[in-house]
Amino acid sequence: MNAGVMDREAAAAIAEIRRSGLRAPARILFGAGGLARAGALARELAGGRPALVLTCSALAAPAGAAARLGDDLRQQGVPVETVSGLDQEPTVAVVDAAAARARAIQPGLIVSLGGGSVMDCAKAVAALAVNAGSAAEYLEGLGHRTQLERPPLPHLAIPTTAGTGAEATRNAVIAAPGQGGKKSMRFDGLLPAAALLDPELTRSVPRAATAAGGLDTVTQLLEACISRKRTPAVTALAHRGLRLTRAALPVCCDHPGDLAARSAMLLASFLSGVCLANAGLALAHGLAAALGALHHVPHGLACGILLPATLRYNRTACAPALAAALAAFLYPDAPAPLTDDVVIDRGLAALEALQRRLGVPADLRHLKLDERALQRLAAMSMGNSMSGNPVPMDPERTLAFLRTL
């Protein structure tokens, strides 16, 4: 597979998204070197006003990307202000500080250049730039504001990692220290107006982050296929993403400069975001959210640890859907004439082999969680993702599952 083939695959996937009417950014640009198109796109979206660019630190960003982006916007006549250093998952304080900057500048466009954390921060800032209050007031299960009075500013999302697919989703995960850990700000208007997917930007992602992000993508694609909120359109798109992942993820880890593999994983990541935004997720994501909040396990790593065990737990409740999804993962070129049970057995074995190859643990023993910690974890796992799990979950069932890990 080469990068040109991936460009055609992306065009076909985008056409399928449009045909099926799935919720996704109105503008989707895919292709190596696409960062050079950001300026023209920003000029269209900014309505003659400045752009506020949110990005990570110079060390965390691809070399020179933020400077190139800024130059390109200015050349297109779009004044640029920048908030950088957004390397960690955003907190309420970080989002509020960036929002204060936005309220002072009154930009016409928010641009994010970074990973899921930067894009999530930018979604919240796009909303708070034109709506009153702190981010905390809009968080699910915490804040009292349940709607946005004004539509958020347009947001141009430019991912520099393949993993969360945050450029295609309508929620922003924000940490509220001392107020219950991580929560989501979730509104339809938080969906970015445009996603610019340039695989060149992901070539410098280190191995561990590449592996974790890739496992997050695979988990999102598989969970969208078995979620109780799944639809035929989401399933077809998720299968398309899964067909890209099995060969490409190890190549991205072992040969980080391989543009075709990086292209495949960036496209799969984006498709996983579209799928989760339209069909929700399941048990692995319900638990990963709590593991992140309570024990600071990075999201992609938590997904990678939990994926085989959670699928095994769910298999009888969703066997045909799970078998079809794992067949797309295992046999991307042509489906094999096998029974569902055989495909699931082989798929779970392949996921466990992928875990080992990428150096991801297969259980939670390294966290040394006692019974009390497991109980807290089970209680904290009942978020939005868990509501889509094929086996209906409550804290007792979740605790019983956790004891098996």
Q: Among the candidate windows 111-119, 139-147, 214-222, 231-239, which touches Fe ion by CB under 5 A? A: 214-222
- Closest to Fe ion by CB, 38 or 265: 265
- Closest to Fe ion by CB, 55 or 217: 217
Residues β-bridged to residue 194: 27, 156
Q: Among the candidate windows 196-204, 208-216, 243-251, 391-399, which touches Fe ion by CB under 5 A? A: 208-216
Contact 48, 108 (CB under 8 A): yes
Q: How far is the CB of 284 from Fe ion (least distance, A)?
A: 8
Contact 126, 83 (CB under 8 A): no
- Closest to Fe ion by CB, 198 or 216: 216
Residue 200 sits in the site that holds Fe ion (CB under 5 A): no
Residue 216 sits in the site that holds Fe ion (CB under 5 A): yes
Q: Among the candidate windows 111-119, 211-219, 226-234, 361-369, which touches Fe ion by CB under 5 A? A: 211-219
DSSP assignments along 13-71, one per residue:
HHHHHHHHT----SEEEESTTGGGGHHHHHHHHHTTS-EEEEE--TTTSPTTHHHHHHH
- Closest to Fe ion by CB, 200 or 223: 223
Q: Write each residue from 90 to 119 as x if it is in contact with Fe ion (CB under 5 A), else as -, in one continuous string.
A: ------------------------------
Query: How many amino acids of this chain bind Fe ion (CB under 5 A)?
Result: 1
Q: Among the candidate windows 96-104, 190-198, 213-221, 365-373, which touches Fe ion by CB under 5 A? A: 213-221
Q: How far is the CB of 223 from Fe ion (least distance, A)?
A: 9
- Exposed e or buried b per residue across 8-18, where buried means at least 16 C-beta atoms within 10 angstroms of its C-beta: ebbeebbebbe
Return the biggest CA–CA distance within the chain.
61
- Closest to Fe ion by CB, 375 or 384: 384
- Exposed e or buried b per residue across 224-251, where buried means at least 16 C-beta atoms within 10 angstroms of its C-beta: bbbbeebeebbbebbbbbbbbbbebbbb
Q: Write each residue from 354 to 383 as x if it is in contact with Fe ion (CB under 5 A), else as -, in one continuous string.
A: ------------------------------
Contact 102, 109 (CB under 8 A): no
Q: How far is the CB of 163 from Fe ion (least distance, A)?
A: 7
- Closest to Fe ion by CB, 99 or 162: 162
Q: How far is the CB of 299 from Fe ion (least distance, A)?
A: 6
Q: Give me the residue label for tokens 């009154």.
A: 106
- Closest to Fe ion by CB, 66 or 288: 288
Give dist(CA 221, CA 329) in Å, integer: 10
Residue of closest CB approach to Fe ion: 216
- Closest to Fe ion by CB, 111 or 287: 287
CB neighbour list of residue 334: distance below 8 Å, 6 or more residues apart:
none
Q: How far is the CB of 300 from Fe ion (least distance, A)?
A: 7
Q: Which amino acid is at 54?
A: L
Helical pair 3-20 and 232-254, crossing angle rounded to 10 deg: 160
Q: How far is the CB of 216 from Fe ion (least distance, A)?
A: 4
Q: How far is the CB of 16 from Fe ion (least distance, A)?
A: 22
Residue 120 sits in the site that holds Fe ion (CB under 5 A): no
The token duo for 99 is 């929002």
- Closest to Fe ion by CB, 158 or 222: 222
Q: Phi and psi of 64, rounded to 5°? A: 75, 0
The token duo for 46 is 């900014």
Q: How far is the CB of 142 from Fe ion (least distance, A)?
A: 21
Torsion of CA 112, 114, 117, 122, to 10 degrees: 0
Element (H, E) at 363: none
Q: Which amino acid is at 41?
A: L
- Closest to Fe ion by CB, 131 or 269: 269
Q: Give me the residue label for tokens 């070539």.
A: 203
Q: Write each residue from 285 to 324 as x if it is in contact with Fe ion (CB under 5 A), else as -, in one continuous string.
A: ----------------------------------------
What is the binding site for Fe ion (CB under 5 A)? 216
